[in-house]
Each structure stands twice: as C-alpha cells, then as structure tokens.
Amino acid sequence: MQLEVIGVGGAGCRIADAIRAAEPTDHSFLTDVFAFDTDESDLNRTVIPESNRFRYGPDESDGGLAGYLERGRTLGRDRVDDLLESADRATPGAADGVLVAVGLGGATGGGAAPALVSALQQRTDAPVYVLATLPADREFTRADPSESAPLAGDPNATTDAPPRPTAAANAVATLERLDGVASAIITFDNEDWLRPGETLADGRDRCNRELATRVAAVFTGGGSADSVAQTVIDASDIRRILGDQSSVVALGYGDQTVETNGSRFGLGLLSAEPDIETSEAVSAVETVVRKGIRGKLTLECDPETAERGLLIVGGPPAWLNRRAIAEGRRTLESAIGGSGILGGDAPRPDGDRVFAAVVLAGIRSDRLAELRSAADRTGRVD
C-alpha cells in the first residue's frame, strides 16, 4: 500500500517523523510525508525535508496556541486550502490512502485535523485515516484533584499544575468532530504507554517509535523486491478492515529475533535459505501472534469487542510457516468473535525478526469513557 502521511501540530509532526524513520529500506510504502504546524521551531526540529514543512497562522501563533482549541479550529478552517495546495504542488504521486497524524490533547493539531480531514475527503477517492494519540492523565490532572485546574498561561499557577489542563477536553472535542469525517481513527493511549513517573517529554520519542513500528508493519504489508508473499495484504484489504465509518482502531504487535545465515557475500547476489526446523518456525509464529493479540495494544480494549480484524505475519521467508500463520488467523477469529477477518504474510529476506501485526477495528474501550469523564471535570470544549 502506498501511503501519504501528514503530521499536524507538534505531536503529529513528531509522529510523522517517526513513521518516516520506520519505513523499511527494502520496501517503501510512503509516497510522501508532510508537516503542518503553527510553531516554526517545532517544524525545524523535524527531519522532514524543508520543502514538505509548512508553517501556517499569523506571527503571534508562532510558538503554539497554549491549548486554546477554538483558536486552532479557526486557523485550521482558514488555512486548510492553502496547506493542501502546498502539499499538492510538492508531490505528484497518488497514494492509496492518507494518514493524518495528530496529538488530540493539543490545540494546533486537534483544532485543524477535522477541517483538514474533511477537505481531504472531498479531494481524493482514497480513504483518509487519522492516527491520534490520547493524552495521559498526568497531562491534565493536578497533584491535588480537589483543586480546580488553572487556565493555560495563568501566571499564578502553582508548580503542581498540570502542563496541559485542557488536554482531556480538547481530545474529546476533537474525537467528536472527527466522527463521521475520518475513514477510521487509529488510536494510541499515552497514559498506558508512559512509564510510572515519566513525563510526556521524556517518553514521547520511545512511544512514537513504538507506534511507528506498528504503523509500518500494517501498511507495508505484502512482500519485498526479493520475495513475494503467499497471501498479499493490499490497500483494498486494509480499507475493508478499517472501514469508512470512523471506527476506532487499535494495533497490536509482537516480534521475536530469529537466527538467519546472514550471508550475502557483500554483494546482495548470493544467499542461501537457512535450514529451519518446522517446530521452531511454528513456535516463533505462534509466539508473536499471541503477543500481537493478547499483548499491549495501542489502545487497551477487549479484542472481543472488535468488529473486524487483520493479521499480518512477517519476517525471513524460511520462518514463515504457512500452517502456523493459518492457525494464527484462526486464533484471531476466536479472539474477536467476528466474521470480518483477513490474514496475510510479509516476507522480509534481509530481516532477523519474525513479527505479527494485528489490527482490531470497531473496538470499544473504557479509556475513551474515562477521558469523557475527565473532560467533564476539567471543562468541556463546545
């Protein structure tokens, strides 16, 4: 699948950066990557080429919007056509899908994303997916929850004030506006992935790498230039599973290092398939599939709530035991209790890991209800 990625706001641009870095060298899946932000300094910290970085908004918006979502919405609505025209001039290729990356707790990305996604849906027949990070509780919860949260930028705020008091309200308001607009919303919960006592600033690069690894595993799919998949997962398959009704999506992932011969004689011309015991290959596939389904998801949920599911098992071809992959698909079918299941393999001749990427679409999650309750406590954004 050929994917165009657009990062919006500071968090979205960092995620786009991480996805670009996670793209396999032997199997490109990105047509282009763009960064849209109101903060010039944040844009300059990305590794996205300068030609694909676009700052928008008046001079006074440089430096961010201090959590004011309505201001972000206004800027997004006013500048969305200019941003998309700039992107159209920068890339001539047509993508099979567009992925808009955004941090939902902020004002720039959260404010602009609904307008951007809506405009993209009108301009392309390809699906427009949103990759959204949910704010961690430590971003909007005070040390003493009995005290009311100060307004962003309040000079009298105490040191125990949360760094982003409006993050929960912003996230819920943005999710509501994306419902019915985005083809699907792939979610990543920072609260679940940050370590105890870790700040978002300290943990975000690690979290973004984890998220990017999962995105690359799902959207790369298929085989490589050196090896063809037995069952190819293509853009239409991903579209079928993710849907077009703004379903909430969680990603699972598991991997395991395996032995390879590592012999390419320095030329990439000669190689020999390693002699792998069938039991070893079966065990490796079963292990990563189990991790992908029952391990840590990007958004905590019961897999049984999913309406549709996708399983991609990849790695060195000699390790991709077809019987084990078929059994893994049956395991996913049993786990979600749904009928919309697809599965495929993704040979990676130069890799040294077997992996399983799992997509759970149409899920229900208690975490979203928790954010709505937090938004009600801190003040909902209309």
Q: How many CB atoms lie within 10 A of CB 124?
A: 15
CA dihedral 41, 45, 50, 54 (to 10 degrees): -50
**What is the tens place of the pLDDT at every residue in 270-314?**
445 567 889 999 999 999 999 999 999 999 999 999 999 999 999
pLDDT of residue 369: 95
pLDDT of residue 310: 97
**What is the tens place of the pLDDT at every residue in 305-332?**
999 999 999 999 999 999 999 999 999 9
Q: Which of 3-12, 150-159, 309-318 shows the lowest mean pLDDT across its residues?
A: 150-159
Q: Which of 48-62, 66-80, 84-98, 263-277 shows the lowest mean pLDDT across its residues?
A: 263-277
pLDDT of residue 340: 84
Separation CA 67–CA 135 (nearest Å):
12
108 among annotated binding-site residues: yes
199 among annotated binding-site residues: no
44 among annotated binding-site residues: no
Q: Which of 108-117, 258-267, 359-368 shows the lowest mean pLDDT across its residues?
A: 258-267
**What is the tens place of the pLDDT at every residue in 219-256?**
987 655 556 778 889 999 999 999 999 999 999 999 99
Comparing C-alpha atoms, which of 201, 217, 248 is closest to residue 14? 201
Would you say 106 and 139 are in contact if contact means Cβ atoms under 8 Å apart?
no
Q: Is the pLDDT of residue 65 over 90?
A: no
pLDDT of residue 118: 95
Separation CA 338–CA 21 (nearest Å):
34
Task: List all residues 6 or more positions away from 97 whose beta carbon is below 8 Å from its beta carbon.
Answer: 1, 2, 3, 4, 126, 127, 128, 129, 183, 219, 235, 238, 239
Q: Which residue is listed with tokens 């849209």?
A: 36
Section 91-104 average pLDDT: 86
How many helical (H) and strand (E) elements, i.e. helices and strands, does the chain have?
12, 10
Domains in the chain, start-ordered, CATH in brackets?
3-221+366-378 (3.40.50.1440), 251-361 (3.30.1330.20)
Q: Which two tokens stand for residue 256?
A: 């395991």
CA dihedral 254, 256, 260, 265 (to 10 degrees): 70
pTM: 0.89
pLDDT of residue 147: 47
pLDDT of residue 166: 87
pLDDT of residue 266: 41
Q: DSSP string of 273-338? A: -----HHHHHHHHHHHHHHHHHS--SS---GGG-SEEEEEEEE-GGG--HHHHHHHHHHHHHHH--
333 among annotated binding-site residues: no
Query: To the nearest whole percent, how much of the chain has pLDDT over 70?
Result: 83
Q: Which of 64-73, 177-186, 342-351 shows the lowest mean pLDDT across its residues?
A: 64-73
109 among annotated binding-site residues: yes
Separation CA 288–CA 312 (nearest Å):
11
Comparing C-alpha atoms, which of 246, 348, 365 is closest to residue 306? 365
Average pLDDT, the chain: 86
pLDDT of residue 92: 53
Split at pLDDT 50, 70, 90, the class of 88 is confident
Would you say 5 and 16 are in contact if contact means Cβ atoms under 8 Å apart?
yes
**What is the tens place of the pLDDT at every residue in 177-220?**
999 999 999 999 999 999 998 988 999 999 999 999 999 999 98
Separation CA 62–CA 64 (nearest Å):
6
pLDDT of residue 380: 58
261 among annotated binding-site residues: no
3-state secondary structure of 256: strand
